[in-house]
Every structure is written in C-alpha cells, then in structure tokens.
C-alpha cells in the first residue's frame, strides 16, 4: 500500500460518515436526491511521487483508489509532508496559509468540481 493511500484512508471513512449524516433523514430527502443525481464525483490527490483519488458515489459511499482518475472533478496537489501536516493539525489557518503560499493547490476541473471545492477545502482544513 502506498504512503499516500495510507495517509488518506482515514479521511475516506470520515468523509463517508459526514456525507451520510448530511443526506440522511426525512428532512434531507431533497438534498439526497440532488446528491445522488450528480454523483459520482472524483477528487485526485497528487504528490510529487504518488497519486490517489476519492470517488464519491450515490448514497454517500466513498471509495479511495490508487492512481489518478482520468476524468477528475477536483484536483489537489501538495507535498506529502504538507498533506500529513494538514491532517495532523486540522487547522483552517494552516490550510489557508498553505494554499496562499502554493504549498497546496485545490483546483476544480468541472462544474461538479466547482460545487465541491469548498467542501474539499473544509475537509482538509477542519476535519471531523
């Protein structure tokens, strides 16, 4: 298993739990219907030497794959050490500083990606 996959695996479960909470329950049915309609959404995460991607599926399921998705909606590029620090610190200010200084780049590739970029930023800056 690659070092990047090992680092991102816990985020996969956290992300799935968060999405399922947001779209579950009778009052969130409209949100769930919209969510399920626009999925799948693919988020590439790249370092200098490795790449992996999250695939967000209908029903709130999230899968982590080794390699890059050919048609990603969002791409995240950073040094592995920066990603580790983001996950450990869980700090919005650290994430914003890393983004301002170019240590991490979050870029949307599609319309779905544009809608998801803020959620991706939130995941990496304030993890549950």
What pLDDT digit, counting tens, does each position of 37-74 carry?
A: 889 999 999 999 999 999 999 999 999 999 999 999 99
Instruction: Note the residue count of the chain.
Output: 128
**Total number of domains constituting the chain:** 1
- CATH number at 79 reads 3.30.1050.10
Specify the pLDDT at position 128: 43
For the chain, the average pLDDT equals: 88
Please give the residue range of the domain that contains residue 11. Answer: 3-125
DSSP code at position 107:
E
Between 108 and 35, the more confident residue is 108
């Amino acid at each position: 298993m690659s070092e990047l996959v090992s680092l991102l695996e816990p985020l996969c479960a956290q992300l799935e739990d968060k999405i399922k909470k947001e779209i579950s329950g009778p009052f969130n049915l409209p949100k769930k219907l919209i969510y399920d309609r626009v999925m799948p959404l693919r988020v590439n995460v790249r370092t200098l030497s490795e790449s992996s991607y999250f695939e967000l599926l209908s029903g709130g399921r999230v899968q982590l794959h080794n390699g890059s998705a050919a048609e990603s909606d969002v791409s995240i590029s950073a040094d592995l050490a920066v990603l580790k620090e983001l996950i450990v610190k869980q700090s919005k200010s650290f994430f914003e500083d890393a983004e301002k200084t170019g240590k991490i780049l979050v870029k949307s590739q599609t319309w779905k990606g544009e809608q998801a970029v803020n959620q991706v930023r939130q995941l990496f800056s304030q993890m549950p």
